[in-house]
């Protein structure tokens, strides 16, 4: 089996975690031209939490983000559906010299690879 599906899932999982950390950082200290009112309220609420509760929020956000990724990978693996869309998905990585199917029906499920990663 190609290691590319595992690398792909690992990269998505890492990006998911980076996104959560970026959101936490933004809630701690919003940057830019000014956050929208909902983000301003959310940041104010988050900054008012105890460190223990902030850690719980971070854990819940990671759980939700990784759960969403797991569900998406299940759709790509053709074991779950996206709404009313029926059919199957073929997910490819196209490199400079070759094309690799990431959700190969004869290979590992992407969601299983997700579960193997820390």
Q: 37 lies in which domain range?
A: 4-116
Residue 2: pLDDT band (50, 70, 90) is low
Q: Which of 52, 59, 50 is nearest to 24 (CA)?
A: 59
Domain count of the fold of the chain = 1
pTM, entire model: 0.88
pLDDT single digits (tens) 60-96: 999 999 999 999 999 999 999 988 888 899 999 999 9
Placement of tokens 């223990």 in the chain: 52
Phi, psi of 90 (to 5 degrees): -125, 110
């Amino acid at each position: 089996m190609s290691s590319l599906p595992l690398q792909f899932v690992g990269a998505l999982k890492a990006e998911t975690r980076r996104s959560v950390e970026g959101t936490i950082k933004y809630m701690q200290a919003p940057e830019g031209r000014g956050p929208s009112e909902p983000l301003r309220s959310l940041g104010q609420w988050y900054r008012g939490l105890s460190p223990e509760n902030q850690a719980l929020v971070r854990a819940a956000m990671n759980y939700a983000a990784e759960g969403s990724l797991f569900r998406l990978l299940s759709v790509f693996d053709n074991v779950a559906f996206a709404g009313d869309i029926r059919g199957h998905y073929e997910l490819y990585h196209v490199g400079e010299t070759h094309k690799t199917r990431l959700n190969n029906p004869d290979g590992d499920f992407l969601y299983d690879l997700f579960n193997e990663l820390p």
